[in-house]
Structure 1
Amino acid sequence: MAVTDEAIEKIKGMIVSGALRPGDRLPKESELAAELGLSRNSLREAVRALTLIRILDVRQGDGTYVTSLDPQLLLEALGFVVDFHRDDTALEFLAVRRILEPAATALACPRISDAELDALEAELEALGPDPSVDELVACDIRFHRGIVRASGNGVLCSLLDGLSGPAGRARVWRGLTREDAVDRTLREHRAILDALRDRDAEAARSWATAHITSHEQWLRTTL
């Protein structure tokens, strides 16, 4: 194990064991290095790495603190990682989305309010018959995010937000190359909304699956 990896594991161990809790300030660098049996350089590298993935928060002039460790905060790093995907691996991300998002849509079915459904429908209507690709993609992202948030599961919402990088790129590509992309997307969105209004969780799950599967099939054919 590399020295920096060892340092990361030791700090992680302190957090998992409860020796360091969310919001706690880390001991001074010299004290912590001695306590963990690490060089100060390897400790600094470990702190940098854990700061990047939002485990630690370095506050200039104040010290280094354990963050809230809220899952939504920690999962922000997923979007950073996802941005480095290759175009062909977008299929793998879409496959994960196809598993998770229909489940989130079904969870949202009894929870989403009529006012939230009205707001989503109003956004679809505001697009008009001939939106630009950018307008369509932005609306598509807001539409799905609004439904997933209504599921009440913050972890699921954060995971799907993290997966929106490649999904967003695929949406743009699809919009530019398929003449029926706008009509088909809006039809599928309205079918999902209708199922949610009917409080039919299985229909909502099925329409969400069909919607994402159509993206996946198109991308597979294109690649």
Structure 2
Amino acid sequence: MGPLDKLQPIDITPSASEKVAERLMGLIASGNIAPGDKLPSENELAKALHVSRPVVREALRGMTMMGVVQTRQGGGSYVTDLKPNRLMAPLSFVLSLQDYSLESLFTARTVIDGGLAAEAARNVTAAQLERFAELVEVAYRTVGDAVAFRVADVEFHELIGTAANNAFLDQVSRSLYSLAVDQRRKASEIPGVLDQSARDHDAIVSALVARDSKAAEAAMAAHVAHIRKTTLDVLAGADPIPFRIR
């Protein structure tokens, strides 16, 4: 018995393509169609579901945008590896199009990044702790070079997500980090700002070394609060919030 034998005909409605996608997503979620499997042809799906090929094609297009399906060279649609970073990619795009207040962004970062830091304290490996120590040294060494500091800062925050061992939260955190980059870049050029960030990184890593989840969460929350304040200072007298975050 193949996966198509489990399909039931659906009515043709204005949302027929969505129903096709939902039916296929159900088969994937249940394990009847696995990551990497080739999907039946558009014609086979259309016959099984009693819809037109354009309806199937539209459903597959939507699933492709979601990162669930991909077209490979030589033809045919396949289920992707379904890894979180692929499935969460649309989130970054959606967030970049929306109007959010800076306050809501930093509130979200406090919750997500703080939670990740707490998880990192529980799950961080010895090798990761060594790299964290190196990144703290880099932070102190590059407080006079904003570009170099920002490069290391990206790795620092990504390593927090990796150490937390929660791929979904990690991807959300990376999406939030990418917002308001221009404003944070300007803030990083204010004297003293990077010195504070270096100390913040040091405090976070100290909590990770101690495997103290509460201290790690608190240290990350303090770090985000400092970033929020300096970013708002840069915007003082400029564009009022809420504004479009870019």
What TM-score, normalized to structure 2? Answer: 0.78
Residue 149 in structure 1 maps to residue 162 in structure 2 = yes
SS of alignment partner, residue 170 of structure 2? helix
* Residue of structure 2 equivalent to 1:30: 43
For residues 178-197 of structure 1, the C-alpha deviation after alignment (integer angstroms, 9 at most, x for no partner) is 33211111111111112222
Q: Which runs of 5+ in 1 are unaligned?
A: none
- Match for 1:133: what amino acid? A
Equivalents in 1 of 2:63, 2:102: separation in Å? 27
Equivalents in 2 of 1:97, 1:129: separation in Å? 24
- Match for 2:36: what amino acid? G
* Residue of structure 1 equivalent to 2:104: 92
Equivalents in 1 of 2:56, 2:228: separation in Å? 44
- Change in 2 beyond 3 A, CA 1:220/1:212: same
- Match for 2:170: what amino acid? C
Deviates more, 1:100-109 or 1:211-220: 211-220
* Residue of structure 2 equivalent to 1:14: 27
* Residue of structure 2 equivalent to 1:179: 191
What TM-score, normalized to structure 1? Answer: 0.85
Q: Number of aligned residue pairs: give it.
A: 221
Identity fraction in percent? 29
- Match for 1:29: what amino acid? E
Equivalents in 2 of 1:62, 1:83: separation in Å? 32
1:18 CA drift (Å):
4.2
Residue 196 in structure 1 maps to residue 176 in structure 2 = no
Q: Which runs of 5+ in 2 are unaligned?
A: 1-13, 236-240, 242-246
SS of alignment partner, residue 83 of structure 1? helix
* Residue of structure 2 equivalent to 1:111: 123
1:129 CA drift (Å):
4.8
1:174 CA drift (Å):
2.0
Equivalents in 2 of 1:118, 1:73: separation in Å? 29
* Residue of structure 2 equivalent to 1:71: 84
- Match for 1:33: what amino acid? A
SS of alignment partner, residue 164 of structure 2? coil
- Change in 2 beyond 3 A, CA 1:13/1:115: closer
For residues 201-222 of structure 1, the C-alpha deviation after alignment (integer angstroms, 9 at most, x for no partner) is 2111111011112223444553
* Residue of structure 2 equivalent to 1:50: 63
- Change in 2 beyond 3 A, CA 1:126/1:215: closer
- Match for 2:46: what amino acid? A
Equivalents in 2 of 1:138, 1:95: separation in Å? 24
CA RMSD of aligned residues (A): 2.4
- Contact 2:204–2:219 (8 Å) recurs in 1: yes
Equivalents in 2 of 1:208, 1:117: separation in Å? 16
1:97 CA drift (Å):
1.8
- Contact 2:105–2:176 (8 Å) recurs in 1: yes
Residue 39 in structure 1 maps to residue 52 in structure 2 = yes
Larger radius of gyration: 2
